[in-house]
Structure 1
Amino acid sequence: MYDDERELTGGNASGRVVRVGETVRKPWIDNTPVVQSYLGALRARGVDAPNPLGCDQRGRQVVEYVHGALALDQLPLGREDLLRVGRMIRRIHDASEFFPVPDPDGWKMLLPAENPNLMCHNDLAPWNLLTGDRWVFIDWDAAGPSTRLWDLAYAAQSFGMLFEGQPVDSAARACLLIGCSR
């Protein structure tokens, strides 16, 4: 570890993640080259996503560090915030239509969707949304071939806190707001 590296907490799938200055460094995996291209393509179409910065001298992927607070620490989000999240997801999916879908047979997916037809984030959740001056989804390591419906359903479940022990009525309202803002 370099003197200027600070380990970042959270995450459960990508290995050790550190901040170096205004960048994030994490392990380079098989999907990283396509994911970095995908982030660049989204940014070129107006989506505010972390800027992909390639590979560092230690073979790690490098992306822009985005300042903000995790939406996870602000749950439950209010109506306007949930509508904003839904609009963000719509922009991501619309911009993704212009990115070639990788062959799903050669792609390692934790939770694969049936009949993938769109490159998607696949983990659009409060633990991957930074809020503040910018609202930006981070942690694109799980991006890959999927569908709009799968990505949206995952986001609705996550932002609606549709988990054991949560009130079903408030979770259902949140899920509807995410989907209706599209």
Structure 2
Amino acid sequence: MSEEFLAGGHSADEVVRIGDTVHRAPASPFAARVLSHLESVGYPYAPRHLGVDDRGRDVLTHLPGRTTDHPTQRAEGAYARGGEMLRALHDATAGHPLAGGAECVVHGDPGPFNTIFRDGTPVAFIDWSGCAPGTRLDDVAYLAWTWCVQSQGNVPIADQAAHLRELRDGYGDIGPDDLVAAMVGRQTRIVDHETTNRDDPSLTATRREHAENAIRWAASDRALILEHRELLLAALR
């Protein structure tokens, strides 16, 4: 059966569709265990891990749909659903041995580029290579930033604030100051980490260019949050 290259996702080097399955560069045994646990508890917002193929690639169920990069591609209620999906992940792993003593297992990179939408409604997170024990707030802050805040795309700041409120309400009780501070914290960590990569001569030119783009993205969105911090906080109260 032929392989069809799949665009989308955020970090996988190789992702192909073969029939009703997706084959991708292996993530980690931990990610496979997390997906198996989520299947066992009936978590519906993730692909199922089906094993490894003869080339050592992870085999996952194919989830039809598309990723999004602008609010115009998302349906009414999409932000609340995204928050609910992430909350369900955290609740399904809280207190489990996979969390390793942390609050829960976090997806780690639950941006809209790692979320499958159908008719504008999110249905599943993909690319679980970054899942790990972690804190709820850090994960939901990244979700909130990447889904709701964007300095590019001509999205009115009032709309961004409304999306942020909807997503937070979908997830559950998180304090406004805590959420905004955590969003800025995630952006700052990306700027700092990717600055190190950009300035590392041992990395390829392609990787250093990726680092420069990531710095520009995170720094621009961070500046937007800091400029409109009070408006965003008011929307969350």
TM category (shorter chain) comes to 0.7 to 0.9
Q: Which residue of 2 aligns with 1:123?
A: 109
1:75-98 per-residue CA deviation (whole Å, 9 max, x = no partner) reads 463552211111111111100215
1:169 paired with 2:158, answer yes
| CA distance, structure 2, for counterparts of residue 142 and residue 117 of structure 1 | 16
Letter in 1 for 2:2: D
Residue 102 (structure 1) shift: 5.9
Name whichever structure is richer in helix by fraction.
2
Residue 39 (structure 1) shift: 0.8
Structure with higher Rg: it is: 2
**Alignment partner for residue 77 of structure 2, among 61, 77, 80?**
80
Residue 117 (structure 1) shift: 3.3
1:35-87 per-residue CA deviation (whole Å, 9 max, x = no partner) reads 11101111222211101011111111111111123243664635522111111
Give the SS at the match of 2:37. helix
Q: Which residue of 2 aligns with 1:109?
A: none
Q: How does 1:18-97 map to 2 (within 5 A)?
A: 18-29=16-27, 32-48=28-44, 49-72=46-69, 75=72, 77-97=74-94
Return 5+ residue gaps in structure 1 as ranges: 104-114
Distance change >3 Å, CA 128–CA 13, structure 1 → 2: closer
**Alignment partner for residue 11 of structure 1, among 9, 12, 27?**
9
**TM-score (norm: length of structure 2):** 0.63
Q: Which residue of 2 aligns with 1:107?
A: none
Q: Is the 8 A contact 2:93 2:105 kept in 1?
A: yes
Which is further off, 164-173 or 34-43? 164-173
Percent identical across equivalent pairs? Answer: 31
Q: Which residue of 2 aligns with 1:159?
A: 147
1:141-179 per-residue CA deviation (whole Å, 9 max, x = no partner) reads 11112211011011111110x122443222122112111
**TM-score (norm: length of structure 1):** 0.80
Letter in 1 for 2:24: K
Give the SS at the match of 1:72. coil
| CA distance, structure 2, for counterparts of residue 16 and residue 41 of structure 1 | 25
* Cα root mean square deviation, aligned: 2.4
Q: Alignment length, in residue pairs? A: 166
Letter in 1 for 2:106: C
Which is further off, 66-75 or 5-14? 66-75
Which is further off, 33-42 or 130-139? 130-139
Residue 118 (structure 1) shift: 2.0
Q: Which residue of 1 aligns with 2:96?
A: 99
Distance change >3 Å, CA 132–CA 78, structure 1 → 2: closer
